[in-house]
Structure 1
Amino acid sequence: MAQLMEDDVLQAFTTYAVIVILKMMLMAPLTSYHRFSGGAFANEEDVALKSAEDKKKFLRSHPDVERVRRCHQNDLENIIPFVVIGLLYALTGPDLSHALLHFRVFAGSRIFHSFAYLIPLPQPSRALSWMVGMAVTFSMAYSVLNTVLRL
């Protein structure tokens, strides 16, 4: 493993993969924050110590909680494919400058997407940032297939 990490492309991939994974992981504590600050819980056991009357009040959805949850879901749908395809891409030995462009643009688009979702910024800012990230992942996938199948 240590020898693999001497490869500049794999080092860059690892760096940006960790950045977007950590960003995705931060959505869970942010969801909890909004649940507690908004008094909106999803499960009966979360309000077990409350009175029957209070249980009804706290077992509900909240717009801020749902917004963070949707942002988190979108991260799961986009970051996991990036990590898998990005690793395969890094293993094909691409040019470092092209690889860095892919990794940086993806990470930037996902970070911007989260801000656009959570602030919220007007559309089409969020949609464009999603499309940019998706285009990067498809570009890497095409490069992997092109390398493997010698298209």
Structure 2
Amino acid sequence: MMASSGLSFENPVFAAYASYASLVVLKMFFVALYTTHTRFRVGVFANSEDVKGNKGAVARLDNPDVERVRRLHRNDLENIPAFLVVGLLYVLTGPSPGVAVWHFRVFAASRCLHTVSYLASRQPHRVLCFSAGLLTTISMAVHVLMVGTL
């Protein structure tokens, strides 16, 4: 096995995966922080103990602003971990560096644009971005299955 294959930053595919994986994880953390920011902005919290010390705040689960950001975060939690797992397995298949980097780029860009579209309430942009990320992950998963069943 060559030194540039596998889970090493000498492997350009792994280096690209690590960079784009870090980017989407940081984006997901941004959404989590934005959820907190939104809760403080509108004064709506999920738990009664969170209301203490926040004058005028209430504990409710039905604020539309908070719920929009929470749904976005849940969408990230449903899609980004799958990319992280499938992407790492994809790296181990030894794919073409050019093809692999485009898979990672498209996924990261689609998730970032999905976030902007979700927060701006933009359709069909949101579903197109979601679909691009999903199809990218499916493409990598199919490649892993094809290589793994040889």
Same fold (TM over 0.5): yes
Q: Which amino acid aligns with 1:134?
A: L
* Residues 48 and 58 in structure 2, CA contact (< 8 A), matched pair in contact too: no
The reply on whether 1:116 has 2:117 as its aligned counterpart is: yes
The reply on whether 1:82 has 2:83 as its aligned counterpart is: yes
More helix by percentage: 1
- Structure 2 distance, partners of 1:37, 1:147, is 49
The reply on whether 1:129 has 2:133 as its aligned counterpart is: no
Which SS does the other structure have where 1:94 is aligned? coil
Give the count of matched residue pairs. Answer: 144
Unaligned 5+ runs, structure 1: none
The reply on whether 1:95 has 2:99 as its aligned counterpart is: no
Q: Trace 1:1-150 onto structure 2 (pairs within 5 A).
A: 4-49=8-53, 58-60=58-60, 61-121=62-122, 123-150=123-150
Q: After the TM superposition, list the runs of 4 or more consecutive aligned residues in structure 1 that deviate by more than 2 angstroms.
A: 48-51
Unaligned 5+ runs, structure 2: 1-6
TM-score by length of 2: 0.90
Return the offset for 1:48: 3.2
- Structure 1 distance, partners of 2:54, 2:21, is 41
- Structure 2 distance, partners of 1:50, 1:136, is 43
Which SS does the other structure have where 1:26 is aligned? helix
Which SS does the other structure have where 1:99 is aligned? helix
- Structure 1 distance, partners of 2:64, 2:109, is 26
TM-score by length of 1: 0.90
* Residues 43 and 54 in structure 2, CA contact (< 8 A), matched pair in contact too: no
